[in-house]
Amino acid sequence: MIGSRTLIALTLLFALILAIAPMPKMLESFRPDWILLVLFYWAIALPHRVNVGTAWVCGFILDILLGSVLGAHALILALVTYIASANYLTIRNFSLWQQALIVGLVSAFYHLGDYWIQHFLTTAYFLPELMWPVVTNTFIWPWAFLLLRKYRRRLKIR
Amino acid sequence: MTPLFANGPEPQTRIIIAILLSFVLMFVDHRMQGFDSIRVYLNSMVSPIMYAANLPQRLLDWSAESLSSRSDLLDENARLRESHLLLSERLQRMRFLERENDRLRALLGSPLRQDIRKMVTEVMSVESNPNSHQLVLNRGSLNGVYEGQAVLDENGIVGQVVSVGTTTSRVLLISDHTHAIPVRVERNAVRSIAIGTGSWSRIELSFVPHSTDIKVGDRLISSGLGRRFPEGYPVAEVTSVVSNESLPFAQIQARPIAALDRVRYLLLLWPPDAEKQPKKGALKNLAEEAEALIP
């Protein structure tokens, strides 16, 4: 019997792999933030398993994988997970599409935060295409949610 | 069973710890370069994830290779044979010119140019974010890759290695907005610095006076100043020169010659005279040169 922790860690690992998997040039600016979606799901489904600490560690690994400043993604993912786990009872009761809108808002915050940190540290300037993943995240959330819920129920992760 | 009360510290305490830790990390990493040596271990630790992410593409490549038909292979073979013949002819001429150049340089008393060791590497992943143009290569410190090493494709300079793991290394492209490369105009040896803009197809020459002789279509080659990039490799081609007298400098844009947006196989260079560790080595070399000058 595999423990719940391992099964959750597997989904996070898979999300990390998807975050850096090569994609066609055309689709690359639309790449959804898998790690954000998966963390968000676990934070509202099992807040006692996945919390700010888990998110921070994932963000730290993402920083190494993406070669960004260490701590940048860790900070934003921790903040996002904090928002999710502070309101998990509210968010759980929303319908799928309302949840999708909230995920959209949160991922807008994620990308703006990423941009702010980069702008603060280097000479990065704002490009509108940075915000495309917000749209993709919003549309992918319902499917990601259903898939992860099925995974959780089938394997009885608690 | 779901516990009624979460154990461990309060969420507020956790988030405050996370925020503080992140800020300390960012400060140490960015302002003090405190993690340069630790990053080797960190990069090595996450390299399995990188290899896993690269697996589907490798599988596709492998199946495409093993499924290609006999006639396709024969065609490709013929094409390669032809280009090999043409290139060998140029190589023969190049050898002759090289010898002649060496003799002339010897007559002038200039130092001879030596051969450069090269290694072919494959790109594992490309950064998608417009604010960071980076690649990951499948060679690392085990293959002798070092920080600051020049990376080329078949047309020109692609970028430089910024961090190394044991089996992977990360390359900053010349189009990244934090990258700058010393260049020279091939036609008349005017020197300048080409700075990335964050766009794949555009780099800019900065601080060029209005009177400088740079025209559209000029090729920019690496000047070898700064000792990071070896001298004489193509970097970019000038695409627009705007000389607006109300601005302090001319605005010159160029297009990188290397196809930065569709790189697959790249070359790593080991220049014989370049210091292995440019950061610490450069200072030592300067000190040695200064000592040699003192009688």
What chain A residue is nearest to B124 in terms of C-alpha separation?
A22
Instruction: State the Cα torsion B226-B233-B40-B131 to the nearest 10°.
Output: 90
Q: Which candidate from A25, A67, A130 shows the least CB-CB separation from B170?
A: A67
Res B290: pLDDT? 65
Strand partners, B268: B119, B151
| Angle at alpha carbon of residue A42, lines to A36 and A48, rounded to 5° | 130
Tokens linked to A85: 């786990």
Residue of A25, A70, A129 with shortest CB distance to B130: A129
Residue with tokens 């996070």: A12
Closest to A41 measured CA to CA, from A32, B13, A20: A32
Say whether A64 and B21 touch across the interface (CB within 8 A). no
The B residues from 176 to 215 touching A (CB cutoff 8 Å) are 177-178, 198
Cβ atoms of B134 and B248 within 8 Å: the answer is no
A121 at B interface, C-beta within 8 A = yes
Domain B180-257 falls in which CATH fold? Thrombin, subunit H (2.40.10)
Chain A nearest CA to B262, separation (Å): 8
* Chain A 21-80, residues with CB within 8 Å of chain B CB atoms: 21-23, 25, 28-29, 31, 47-48, 51-53, 55-56, 60-61, 64-72, 74-75, 78-79
Asked whether this complex has an ipTM greater than 0.85, the answer is no
Q: CB-based contact (8 Å) between B18 and chain A?
A: yes
Whether A17 has its CB under 8 Å from any CB of chain B: the answer is yes
pLDDT at position B1, please? 45
Between β-strands B117-126 and B265-270, what pairing exists: parallel, antiparallel or unpaired?
Answer: antiparallel
How far is residue B226's CA from residue A133's CA, in Å, rounded to a whole number? 39
How far apart, in Å, do the first and last CA atoms of chain A sit?
13
**pLDDT on residue B77:** 92
Contact by Cβ (8 Å): B201, B255: yes
Those residues of chain A that have pLDDT short of 70 are 1
- CA B242 vs. chain centroid, Å, equals 28
B74 and A CB contact within 8 Å: no
Tokens linked to A94 = 């929303």
CATH number at residue A69: 1.10.1760
Q: What total number of domains does chain A contain?
A: 1
Which of A51, A65, A118 lies closest to B46 in CB terms?
A: A65
Distance (Å, whole) CA B291 – CA B295: 8
> In 3D, which of B204, B141, B201, B127 has the Cα closest to residue B171?
B127
Note whether B11 contacts A: Cβ–Cβ < 8 A: yes
Answer yes or no: do A82 and B11 touch at CB < 8 A.
Answer: yes
Q: What is the pTM of this model?
A: 0.78
B132–A67: do the CB atoms touch at under 8 Å? yes
B22 touches chain A (CB under 8 A): yes
Which residues touch B120 (CB under 8 Å, ≥6 apart)?
Answer: B265, B266, B267, B268
Cα(A122)–Cα(B133) distance, integer angstroms: 13
Count CA atoms closer than 13 A to A22's CA, side-chain side.
Answer: 23
Q: Is A71 in Cβ contact with B25 (below 8 Å)?
A: yes
Please indicate if any CB of chain B lies within 8 Å of the CB of A94.
no
Under 8 Å between Cβ of B123 and B265? yes
A20 to chain B: closest CA residue: B53
CB atoms B177 and A122 under 8 Å: yes
Chain A closest CA to B229's CA: distance in Å? 22
* Contact assignment for B22 to A78 by CB distance below 8 Å: yes
- Distance CA(A42)–CA(A92), nearest Å, equals 11
Query: Would you state the structure tokens that stand for residue B107, as one six-digit string?
Result: 């007559």
Using CB atoms and an 8 Å cut-off, which of residues 105-164 of chain B contact chain A?
124-132, 134, 136, 162-163
Choose from B21, B129, B162 for mutation: most chain A CBs within 10 A.
B129
Q: What is the CA radius of gyration of chain B?
A: 24
User: Per-domain residue ranges for chain B?
Assistant: 71-112, 180-257
Chain A residues with CB inside 8 Å of B132's CB?
66-68, 118
What per-residue confidence (pLDDT) applies to A150?
92
Determine the structural domain holding residue A34 and report its residue range.
4-154
Query: In the numeric block, which tokens belong to residue A114?
Result: 């990423």
DSSP category for residue B142: G
CB-CB neighbors (< 8 A) of A52 in chain B: 11, 14-15, 18
Asked if the C-beta of B14 comes within 8 angstroms of chain A's C-beta atoms, the answer is yes
Chain B nearest C-alpha distance from A110 (Å) = 14
Low-confidence ranges of chain B (pLDDT < 70): 1-8, 34, 128, 273-295
Task: Spell out the SS3 assignment of chain A.
Answer: CCCHHHHHHHHHHHHHHHHHCCCCHHHHCCCCCHHHHHHHHHHHHCCCCCCHHHHHHHHHHHHHHHCCCCCHHHHHHHHHHHHHHHCHHHHHHCCHHHHHHHHHHHHHHHHHHHHHHHHHHCCCCCCHHHHHHHHHHHHHHHHHHHHHHHHHHHCCCC
